[in-house]
Structure 1
Amino acid sequence: MSYLSLDDVSYSYDNKNNAVESVNLEFELGEAVAIIGQNGAGKTTTVKMMNGLIRPDKGRVLLDGKDTKGISVAQLSHHVGYVFQNPDEQIFQDSVEKEIAFSLKKQKLPQTEITTRVKDAARLCHLDNKLNEHPYNLPYSQRKFVTIAAIIAMNPEVMVFDEPTAGQDHNSIIRLNKIIKKLTSMHKLVITITHDMSFVVNNFKRVIVFAQAHKQKEGSPAEIFSDESLLRKSKLEPPVIGQLAKKLGFSNVLTVTDLLRVVN
């Protein structure tokens, strides 16, 4: 049995046109999964159903075999952590340390455990020297890591990242790579919505494509980006390296390593 599954879920914001229609998905702990597609394809609506921010009009969301219908958003947040695309929609404390610790204090955990979790999450996100800073004194890219650290400290089994690479520089994206690898090594399920196709091919073995409120296909990056009809329908393009390689007459190239292999 999958740890998290969506069973024929649909949802409409206006009771007329479905934002998500008849979607079936299954996820296991220890996976890193990318969800891609154009704006309005149904990606964010789908992941918000995973932690109860949106409840499906039709179908079920199952977490560890249990229907989440009767579970509150607060209860679900202990199991499915959600990092919003815009960190300013989540941050409201006056120090990085307080922001990361907030949910832990709400859970009334022992102070020693709170301190340990805050320090560990801050270190993983390269914020250990920023704990006394006001979050809004930090640049946008670091504020995103504050919200990631806050979710990591809660230690949910599932973590959903919405556009984590937006506004990040090269070093920050490398840091995200390491965070995802660390979390999956801890047997966490990491689900990431992103428009960054290079980030997808470098970090995910499983990719799910959405378009027109439906799941179109799932597979490896190679399977997804070699499917030209799928890319046309979903209005997606391969990573820049793949596009360059195609112009040079090379196929099945998605990364710099792939390009060096076929050129040499």
Structure 2
Amino acid sequence: MKRAVKALNRISVQQLAFSYNGRDMVFENFSAEFSGGPTAIIGQNGAGKTTLVKLIKGLLKPDKGRILINGIPAGSMTVRDLAKTVGLVFQNPNDQIFKPSVLEEVTFGPKIIGFSGEKAERSAKEALEMLGISHLKHENPYDLNLSQRKLVSIASILSMDPDILIFDEPTMGQDYEGREIIKRTIRHLRERGKLVLAILHDMDFVAENFDRAVVMHEGKIIADGHPREVFAREEIVAQAGLELPNAVKLGKRLGLKDIFLTKNELIRYLKERTSGR
């Protein structure tokens, strides 16, 4: 997975309209730009988050408007070219996995988009190593637990080396170790210039790992900024049906005016204050 990536990957959603049934609109005149550091898309169920990423991925077609992927209209891209550029990890790994062994599963995608057999296997093994599951390569994915299957589904997208990666609830079913693996993976992708988007209900994970939080409610963006700015707006968080990260809630209970996104930030501040600095 050594292919050079673009200096800045970008998604531009322009005046999008979409309805599943032709009557009830999920989006009307919806526009958004995604580029730069990791971005979390947050909001309660029904806000339009999953519909949006399916439209970006090309799994759904907009009624009006257009989506540009690195300047190219997504509607003009072939399925293969879109797969090379945008990778989507589904919320439920069972919707994605179908091969009888982990290595076959993770090798399948690279082969489909044109990697040679040798390159596909090498890329698959690198992805498995990155996620710490190389020892599972000969296992049947359905013999694994949910956390492991989720990591396999992530590896199957990483192995294709797309410029843009979208994760739908990546921490679902993960224990502490799995969360740490995903955290390291997001950091690694950022360092390589990839654009990472993630749909999340885990506000602690958002606070710890993302540069930008986009809050959606009823098919609209109602807040957009750094998580520190977004979580400072309690009325927006309440409107979107979200909970504040635990560190933010604790800071407020302590009567602190500043917003602390992680427990380490909060502990460091309290130590400095009690030491008189």
Shorter-normalised TM-score: what interval? over 0.9
Q: Indicate conservation of the 8 Å contact 1:84/1:161, yes or no.
A: yes
> Are 2:34 and 1:16 equivalent residues in the alignment?
no
Alignment of 1:73-222 (within 5 A): 73-222=79-228
Give % identity.
Answer: 39
Match of 1:26 in 2: 33
TM-score by length of 2: 0.91
Instruction: Label 1:74 to 1:2 Cα distance change in 2 as closer, same or farther (>3 A).
Output: closer
Opposite residue 16 of structure 2, the aligned amino acid is: V
Q: Structure 2 CA distance, aligned partners of 1:263 and 1:65?
A: 47
CA RMSD of aligned residues (A): 1.5
Give 3-state SS (helix, strand or coil) of 1:263's partner. helix
Could you say which residue in structure 1 is the equivalent of 2:43? 37
Query: Who is 2:274 aligned against?
Result: none
Change (3 A) 1:236 1:72: same
Distance apart, 1:136 and its partner CA: 0.6
| Residue aligned with 1:59, SS | strand
**Of 4, 16, 25, which aligns to 2:11?**
4
Q: How many correspondences in the alignment? A: 263
Which deviates more, 107-116 or 222-231? Answer: 107-116
SS in 1 for 2:28: strand
**Partner amino acid for 2:217?**
A
Contact 2:12 2:34 in 1 (8 A): yes
Contact 1:83-1:160 within 8 A present in 2 as well: yes
Compute the displacement of 1:64 (Å): 1.7
TM-score, with length taken from structure 1: 0.95
Cα deviation digits, residues 239-258 of structure 1 (max 9, x gap): 12211221221231221023
| Aligned 8 A contact 2:9 2:164 in 1 | no
4+ aligned runs moved over 6 Å, structure 1: none
Q: d(CA) in 1 for partners of 2:269 and 2:128?
A: 41
